Structure 1
């Protein structure tokens, strides 16, 4: 264990934030999983959910540790290799829905031999952001036309987004928003960005019209999006309204200091109490203080992302950090906003807090990439110090003595 800790590189504050979030997650996940323990004929054993969450976090931090040891410039080539792979995974996910007998679009595939469910869209988000960062670093300070960027940049982006859209509109919207933010930070011309925004809205409009004209192809998806937006604006009596009302009751019960760990009542009524609405359970049990503490941890993570990006020596490192790091914080604040009814129900989890293996693993993958960039800078500084010592005769003499 000591040897592992000695080999940990990268921004220590980011390591600390990730560890605090993971440790903090155990109590709310264990508490909120009580309703799941009785669903589908369960025997009420909540301990197995805690063990499952622990296993997900252990594997996630192993991924984080392994990835942060990879030099970050390797992700340029890896992103190119992985783009076709995630497209194939998304196609498989979409294809299995077409044979689902009228059920809603599936977001999951089951990995062979291990029997574990996996959500390809979360992996696609990380890979796509790394791919966009690679391309932007390649054309930095070069005069490019919009036509030149269509095939190498926007074709993979829109292909991935169009494969995610039928099953998961909120994830598609988040990825698209983050890509726009990244290309803006990367210096992509604003006039081209406006064209992409218009194209995105046009494609979404065509998809909605197509889904309305042929409801059997993508059953209930557009209706679900519309009902969530209408419920958010008109407070209609729907399943989403029920979830929001229960979440608000949980938040009201929490008060300033909360009811105490494991004493939530609304966990027994919220259908997604351990994932989508876990923030409401946290406030119920830990109060306003716990909710603000959690929010400050994500704000600290955002600040450290900006610092790591600013200190990175190369443009690819800067864009890579912002590309894979910003969606984590953005998703966290969307989850919190949904719980307090500042945003329509989206189905987005709270990174490193909510239960769910894919979400945890891909968040750890993204953080590992950020740590890889920051560890590169630490290595460079250490090499410079060693080089200075080797060039200084007094330093060499003192080391010998």
Structure 2
């Protein structure tokens, strides 16, 4: 075990909090997957879902280990070449996407001959954040030309978001807001950011208006879902999402301070997405306010380690990568928890590292691997400086010792000369 831990380089705090979240996830997923086990006249055996989640977590940690070994600077150029590939995958998903787990949006893509489904928008977000960090770090040394930045930065960003928007507005909004935050931290001029925000609002309004003109088009089918969710959030009109929120609120109220106990949730049998989108409600029901605040605290501690990692990074690209990959992870967790307590409309965002689902876990682990890779590089630099200081200190001690020995020899020669010429010494006095 010591040898295994010794091979884990980088920020040990990030490793620890990620491991705690992953370990904690097993009981809620095992408990909350009961409704999936009974779905479609199933046997009710949740062990298979637990084993599946275990496989996702285990492979996720292998991903973190492999990725954190790669020098993070390599991702700088990789992101540029991966972006066109991402557009192709998103376009295929838009045309041939499938429905998974009852989700009413074709946002999943089935990999042929493998039987694995994944959500390309999560991978697209990962690539896009690194791409934006690359551009901002590249242009830091010279004044930013707005027209040039439109072509090199914002055009790729808007193309990517255009592919994601029709099937997943919440993910599009999260990605766009995080990119704006990254641009602000990267010292992109505020007046240009204001223009981009305004352009985004105009584009979204135009998109909604077109959907009104063509209500039967499949491309705009999700617009009605967005409108109903916003309407249900602001009014008391009953709806499927309203049903989920009510069950989530009942679960949270039932948990009280200490909870009903592990595996004793009642509302897990009624919440359609109890093991993914609404798993936080099940956590509070079974582990109470203490468990809910504990999970929140782990995410906040992880956010603190991300801030520390970005602060100690010696390169601007390293700082922006940590912020661009770490902060969206925490904000996604906050959105998931806010939805469960009805602070936000239903968005479909999972709880990172806790909700079931291979794509979400693996993409989160890739991001964590890159972040830990940044901290590993800084540790290596610090260790090199420490080793250099030790070598310089050892060299200085050697020089001091040689000077001392030389001084002793000079004194010895002086005493010997005095002993050979005693009369000359008296005359000298």
- One fold, TM greater than 0.5? yes
Whether 1:49 and 2:49 are equivalent positions in the alignment is yes
**Structure 2 match to 1:367:** 368
- Residue aligned with 2:40, SS: helix
- CA–CA distance in 1 between the matches of 2:295 and 2:37? 26
Matched with 1:18 is 18
Residues 351-396 of structure 1: per-residue CA shift (max 9 Å, x gap): 0000000000011111111101100010011111222233333699
Cα drift, residue 348 of structure 1: 0.3
Per-residue deviation, residues 44-86 of structure 1 (Å, max 9, x unmatched): 1100000000000011111111111111111101111211111
More deviation, 259-268/139-148: 139-148
- The superposition leaves residues 225-245 of structure 1 with CA deviations (integer Å, 9 ceiling, x where unpaired) of 000000000021000100000
Tell me, yes or no, if structure 1 residue 277 matches structure 2 residue 278: yes
Change (3 A) 1:46 1:227: same
For residues 302 and 250 of structure 2, what CA distance do their matches in structure 1 show? 29
Q: Once the two structures are superposed, what CA deviation does each residue of 1:330-363 show, in whole Å capped at 9, x if it has no partner?
A: 0000000000000000000000000000000011
What is the CA distance between 1:5 and its match in structure 2?
2.3
RMSD: 1.5
Deviation (angstroms), 1:2? 4.7
User: Do residues 261 (structure 1) and 275 (structure 2) align?
Assistant: no
Q: Which residue of 1 aligns with 2:426?
A: none
Closer/same/farther in 2, CA of residues 18 and 122 from structure 1, 3 Å limit: same
Partner of 2:287: 286
Question: Per the alignment, do residues 310 and 232 of structure 1 end up closer, same or farther by CA in structure 2, a change over 3 Å counting?
Answer: same
State the match for 2:244 in structure 1: 243
Return the alpha-carbon distance in structure 2 between the equivalents of residues 195 and 202 of structure 1.
10
Q: What corresponds to 1:181 in structure 2?
A: 181
CA contact (8 A) 1:31 1:262 kept: yes
Long gaps (5+) in structure 1:
none
Q: After the TM superposition, which parts of structure 1 deviate over 4 Å for at least 4 consecutive aligned residues?
A: 394-397
Aligned to 1:40, the other structure's residue is in SS state coil
Secondary structure of 2:37's aligned partner: coil
* 1:23-44 Cα deviation digits (max 9, x unpaired): 0000000000000001023111
Match of 2:82 in 1: 82
CA–CA separation in structure 2 for the residues paired with 1:160 and 1:122: 12
Report what 1:339 is aligned to: 340
The 3 A distance-change label for structure 1 pair 185 and 90 is same
Shift of 1:105: 4.1
Residue aligning to 1:358: 359
**2:70 match:** 70
SS in 2 for 1:262: coil
User: Which deviates more from structure 2 when the two are superposed, residues 216-225 or residues 126-135?
Assistant: 216-225
Match of 2:415 in 1: none
TM-score, length of structure 2 as denominator length = 0.89
SS of 2:219's partner is coil
Q: Is 1:40 aligned to 2:40, yes or no?
A: yes
Structure-2 separation of matches of 1:159 and 1:57: 32
CA distance in 1, matches of 2:81, 2:221: 34
Task: Pick closer, same or farther for the CA change 1:111–1:395 going to 2, 3 Å.
Answer: farther
Residue 350 of structure 1 aligns to a residue in which SS? coil
What stretches of structure 2 of length at least 5 have no aligned partner? 399-429
Greater relative contact order (Cα 8 A, min sep 6): structure 1 or 2?
1
**Correspondences of 1:2-401 after superposition (within 5 Å):** 2-97=2-97, 105-215=105-215, 216-218=217-219, 220-393=221-394
1:218 partner SS: helix
> Radius of gyration: which is bigger?
2
Cα distance between partner residues in 2 of 1:144 and 1:342: 38
Q: Using a 3 Å threshold, how does the CA distance of structure 1 residues 162 and 349 change in structure 2: closer, same or farther? A: same
CA distance in 1, matches of 2:378, 2:395: 27
Q: Find the residue that maps to 1:35 and give its secondary structure.
A: helix
Kept in 2, the 8 Å contact 1:325–1:366? The answer is: yes
Could you report, residue by residue, the CA deviation over 1:109-161 in whole angstroms, capped at 9, with x for unpaired residues? 01123210010000010110000000000011321221010111001100000
Distance (Å, rounded) in 2 between the aligned partners of 1:395 and 1:8 = 34
